[in-house]
Homo-oligomer: A and B are copies of this chain.
Amino acid sequence: MNDEKAALGQKILRIKRQLGLSWDDVGRALGHSPVWTCAACLGQMSMSAETAEKAAALFDLDATEQAVLETIPYRGSLPGGVPTDPLIYRFYELIQVYGTTWKELIHEEFGDGIMSAIDFDMALERQPDQKGDRVKITMSGKFLPYKRY
């Protein structure tokens, strides 16, 4: 299933390039944010039937491929426990450096619990800056308190 989703992701990347579309364009066509749209096309999210239909129309996919977009993936997009690609590794490095800080600050503000990675959304934008533009990432996850029973 995942191999199908991965292969379809590569195909969509090729078609998107040929059509000259940005992820913003694709997101608008599908009615979702660019981040979620990209993750879904790369095979890490499942699309609703409606969304998959729009994606199939946009990228000219057949019924089988449309069905693949709807299937729920076995998630996890990285080979190996520690990513080797420098762009992705920097996020792993943030965990190494800031992991205990996140823990301390979220517990101070909310008490014992976690930030959900499921009821979660994210946006990514360019932040113009004289000394060099910056990548700005905004994450928002529901706080889930640990149940005491």
Contact = CB atoms under 8 A, between A and B. Distances in A.
B85 A106 contact: no
A23 B105 contact: yes
Contacts of A46: 112, 146
Interface in A81-101: 81-101
A95 B114 contact: no
Interface in A105-121: 105-121
A89 B93 contact: yes
Given A72-B107, A82-B81, A93-B117, A101 B134 contact: no
A56 to B, nearest CB: 17
Interface of A: 1, 10, 13, 22-23, 32-36, 38-39, 42, 44-48, 51, 72-78, 80-122, 124, 126-127, 129, 131-149
